[in-house]
Chain A
């Protein structure tokens, strides 16, 4: 039970409006932390703060501390941080190039590929780990824009795996996918936690109960409750949590 990420008293603002309030939360290594909560509860802001995707937004500001393996992330070089904490977005965003190029794109830029002969192996391994290899192995040189949405999302996962990060952030990764593709993505998430630490933001309460080791419930920018997934879904401590997970909210 090692804390991979420690968040201490984090406050986030857009245009001076507080969207995350004094958040203190830990993410444990090789576990899946799922975050549930209604819209506008600050889930995505939290994720985008973890790998500093919001830093370019002039209306955004933040207070507080986040440590990755004890290292303060706001003092880290942005590229190094994102190499360690990668992010998968809600909509699949393949880059406009071939499947093969999509995977080698980041490793090449980051200098992770030293010999050209390693490339094929890296591509195959990443696609296998994202359980996409069998579906695309014969058309690695077709445009990534031409495969289905579910395949694109798994390609994006493969693209992240090729960089070999430590933490992967999933921002509602299945919101645009059909149930079968969703099942595949969830399956790969559970396999991935052997090697990686995962934070999953989801609108789908069932998904959180299926894959999360721990589940946190956010409401209006505040952490209401965090517990082992089994406990939180069986006997939530807070009334609000119970209302939300049983669908009696609002």
Chain B
């Protein structure tokens, strides 16, 4: 065993920790740099607002952008109410017995299932069994099932961060449990639930596997009309143009990646700003 002097070991461990931090940051910055450098030339108003042309080698990616937005919007309208209600039940009403322990355990474990499994599950249940076909609604339902455990967990965290004493103070005045939740707990948990939701939006806009079999199409010549339409989606579109189409111009591939990246990053930034804003306004 080599014995280093305290001064040297201090320097050594500092360097080690610093390098570890760099290793975490450098790839992210490199990815963003490469995508921006190669993709920025493709970005134009026309690219964002027109249909693909010439076997997707030219033109824009409007249907993919709209497709992703409609899937995400549809998924969030399902996830948010169900997730918040489940979180309220688990956090405020559920007694701490064997059944709730199982429920909580499975919620945590559901979050660890690979997303392609959810995709296959969605194909079996929503597309085939419920005969929804490959459609926005089938994709949104699949994404909902995948993201619900995460949303429930964040919403529970937000509810839990409201001090228990507020509930007791409210109950002690004869106010019922539901009224307490409605007027004291929920308003104060809302910021946390909201930021969690925005992050969920960011995450599901980039998901490919769950919508692969349930919502996404190789090419659709028109924009989506209803939630039962098959749509193009940005992550899947990116996969197709980078692997399935020969002689695809590089800048369109990178441009698509850049748009997707921007959507996700914007969402994360909004969530971050919202969190700072609500923290400042927090009253206790």
Q: Which residues of A contact B (CB under 8 A)?
A: 51, 53, 58, 79-84, 86-89, 91, 93-97, 105-106, 109-110, 143, 145, 156, 159-160, 163, 165
Contacts and interface: CB of A to CB of B under 8 A. Distances in A.
A47 to B, nearest CB: 10
Interface residues of B, number: 19
B174 A80 contact: yes
Contact of B168 (A53, A81, A94, A160): A53
Contacts of A165: 174
Interface string B161-179: 0000110111111111001
A95 B184 CA distance: 8
B185 to A, nearest CB: 11
A109 B183 contact: yes
B18 interface: no
Question: Most A CB atoms within 10 A — which of B166, B168, B171?
Answer: B171
B188 A96 contact: yes
B96 A58 contact: yes
Nearest to B95: A58
Given A58-B95, A109-B183, A93 B168 contact: yes
B169 A156 contact: yes
Given A95-B184, A145-B283, A145-B284, A109 B165 contact: no
Interface of B: 95-96, 165-166, 168-176, 179, 183-184, 188, 283-284
A196 B166 CA distance: 24
Contact of B169 (A83, A93, A109): A93
A67 B168 CA distance: 23
A229 B183 CA distance: 42
Contacts of A97: 283
Contacts of B172: 51, 53, 82, 86-89
Nearest to A84: B174
Given A86-B173, A93-B169, 17 more contacts: A53-B168, A53-B172, A79-B176, A80-B174, A82-B172, A93-B166, A95-B166, A95-B169, A95-B184, A105-B173, A109-B175, A109-B183, A110-B174, A143-B283, A145-B283, A160-B173, A163-B173
Contacts of A58: 95-96
B171 A53 contact: yes
Nearest to A97: B283
What are the 5 tightest A-B residue pairs by CB atom distance, in nearest-first order?
Answer: A83-B174, A106-B173, A96-B283, A82-B174, A87-B172
